[in-house]
Amino acid sequence: MLKRFLTKSCVALALVSCALLHPVAYAADDNSPVGYWESFDDRTHTPKAIIQIFTNPDSSLSGKIVKKLVETGGDTCGHCTGALHNAPFKGLVILSGMKPVDNAWEGGSIMDPASGKVYHCRMKVARDQLEVRGFIGVSLFGRSQIWKRVSAPG
């Protein structure tokens, strides 16, 4: 009888723990930039591309274009330099070397495929939005974009 009581108590405790800890785990995932994000055109505010941010073996984050949403400018990066010149947009890594610092990710770089220029980068998640700031030198001299979290493209 005692054994049955302990077994039922352990099962009940496990179920309650799972129910209570699930929102905590979910909230931690919401704070991570890992996943899919929709980027927007600065001028028209229309969706431009779907970017997948992923974790590298060294725990830094990178991001690549998985889907181009605008049909202008061709399918390759004509403004990119070096090995990326004329590389297909799909699969193009535009974000790299991002490491966690406090409640943000920084220390990496972001490339603007429209110009081929590379900037220092800082990212911060706020709910389902990612503030991405590209800058030269100090963060004061740059611009920010807000990306929206989306489901994996089909």
Q: Does domain 33-150 have CATH number 2.40.128.520?
A: yes
Per-residue pLDDT for the chain (154 aa), expressed as one digit of tens each?
A: 545 544 554 344 343 343 333 333 333 357 899 999 999 988 888 999 999 999 999 999 999 999 998 877 788 999 898 889 999 999 999 999 999 999 999 999 999 988 999 999 999 999 899 999 999 987 788 899 999 999 988 7
Is residue 95 a contact partner of residue 63, using CB atoms and an 8 Å limit?
yes
Q: What is the dihedral of CA 84, 90, 96, 101, to 10 degrees?
A: 160
Question: Alpha helices of 31-149 — where are they, by DSSP H?
Answer: none
Per domain, the residue ranges of the chain are 1-30, 33-150
Question: Alpha helices of the chain — where are they, by DSSP H?
Answer: 2-30
